[in-house]
Amino acid sequence: MVDLGINVVVLRVKSNMLGEVWNIPVLGKTLEGWVASALNAPYKTIDASPVIDIADKLMSAVDRSKPVTVVLYCDTPLLTKGTVANAIEKLTAQKLDMLKLQRGCVFKTEYLFGAESLYIQEPSGSGEFEAVTDCEGLSRITDNIRRRILRYHAANGVKIFDFANTHIDCDVVISKGATVEPYNFIKGKTIIKSDAHIMPGNYIENCIIGRGARIDSSRLYDSLVGAGTRVGPFAYLRPNTVVGCDCRIGDFVELKNCVIGDGCKVSHLTYIGDAELGKDCNVGCGVVFANYDGKNKYRSVVGERVFIGSNANIVAPVTVADRAFIAAGSTITSGVPSQALAVARARQTIIPEWKGNMYAPPSGNPQPRAYELVSYSDGIIDGSASADNNNDRGNDGE
pLDDT at position 57? 85
pLDDT at position 256? 98
Higher pLDDT, 319 or 102: 319
pLDDT at position 393? 45
pLDDT at position 394? 45
Of the listed ranges 190-199, 219-228, 344-353, the one predicted with least confidence? 344-353
Please check the confidence at residue 370 and state whether its pLDDT lies above 60. Answer: no
H or E segment and range at residue 138: helix 135-155
From the candidates 153, 167, 197, 268, give the one annotated as an active-site residue. 268
- State pTM to two decimals: 0.84
What superfamily in CATH does domain 160-342 come from?
Hexapeptide repeat proteins (2.160.10.10)
Looking at the chain, the whole-number percentage of residues with pLDDT higher than 70 is: 87
Please check the confidence at residue 388 and state whether its pLDDT lies above 80. Answer: no
pLDDT at position 53? 76
The residue among 327, 324, 350 whose CA lies nearest residue 335 is 324
Contact (Cβ atoms closer than 8 angstroms) between residue 68 and residue 62: no
Q: How far apart are the first and last CA of the chain?
A: 77
Higher pLDDT, 395 or 50: 50
Cα 167 to Cα 171: distance, rounded to the nearest angstrom: 12
pLDDT at position 335? 96
- In whole numbers, what is the pLDDT of the chain averaged over residues? 88
Overall fold of domain 6-135:
Spore Coat Polysaccharide Biosynthesis Protein SpsA; Chain A (3.90.550)
Amino acid 269 reads L
Active site residue 167: no
Q: Compute the average pLDDT of residues 314-343.
A: 96
Please check the confidence at residue 1 and state whether its pLDDT lies above 50. Answer: no
Count CB neighbours of 359 within 10 A.
5
Please check the confidence at residue 380 and state whether its pLDDT lies above 70. Answer: no
The DSSP symbol for 363 reads T
Which residues of the chain are in CATH 3.90.550.10 domains?
A: 6-135
- pLDDT (tens digit per residue) in 274-289: 999 999 999 999 999 9
Which residues of the chain are in CATH 2.160.10.10 domains?
A: 160-342
Cα 65 to Cα 373: distance, rounded to the nearest angstrom: 81
Please check the confidence at residue 52 and state whether its pLDDT lies above 50. Answer: yes
Max avg pLDDT among 124-128, 320-324, 370-374: 320-324
Measured CA to CA in angstroms, residue 310 lies from 213, 266, 285, 344 at distances of 26, 11, 5, 13
Higher pLDDT, 57 or 397: 57
